[in-house]
Structure 1
């Protein structure tokens, strides 16, 4: 028996298809959230003036953190109400008492006067009140003594006799002319000597003295105001 030669049929090779997710066909895949937009950075060569206002604002605010305003915390301190008037410091009672006791123990010479203190220009006494009364005519000068041309000793002798006599007669004010002493080599001799005598030897009779007003001699003369004579009991 002869075997029939049959046609040899070769199996057709299957085409390769790479579809690994075909098994999960029909499932719905969740889409990922879109990425956050990158901060706006101006391109190189772009000037700040060419950016719009929004881009400039975003660029300037990048990196800043929000700060909680003051006073929004859970526990906030309460402020004490401001006083209506100025607050004076409280001084303890014991300290005030000690201060008052100390002041009382001091021997203070408190006198109110509108006269200038002595000591100006060689210790001359200044009689502001009486000079004003003299200019208003309330005090009159009835006597004057001119010491021009006298030596220091002669001038002081004449001054002592003159002041003593005026005091005993109850004169209020007298004028003593010494000269300005411009020709003296050092200081005005008579001017200084007369002021010293009035301040020391004549203090029992002299209330005060001062340089005379310009019309009465100015710096070259003294107006001497005398004390009232004490009446014997």
Structure 2
């Protein structure tokens, strides 16, 4: 008696082709029967749905608010009698009460390295005042101790009067961040610039930078 043959399995490639055959689409008769079956169905009432609240807006960084408040509160006057606050030396230096004269001498000699500068050339008075106030505030917040303000000598001003030179001094004495300032050395701008010593930020040392 002959041994029955086992059914031969399909090759792997053929099986793959079989598996990829798409499902048959329903006939028109099947679609019509389905539509007839659901013709009387009613949609579920939305009363049981949960309404999700809109996400809360991101909080505004506290430091950003503080900076805006500081900018709004900052008001430098052009009418300050700065001459009465300056030292009577030939360079008209300035130092806060409690700051010794040796600090101004060291500042004038370049004891502190100039870490940043602001050039006021070509600015209108209002623009220069705002730029100086912002520059000093941000420099002190960044931990800088010594900066330079370039105001020019006023040689191109009407009447050759150094308007910004006098205004820059008046604005600086109103800034609490400023401890002292003096005319720059000739190599750092001479009569056309001021070297300014700033307070150390809270928690920082006051050493030479």
**TM bucket normalised to smaller:** 0.3 to 0.5
Per the normalisation by structure 2, the TM-score is: 0.48
Tell me which structure has the larger Cα radius of gyration.
1
For CA contacts below 8 A with separation 6 or more, give which structure has more relative contact order. 2
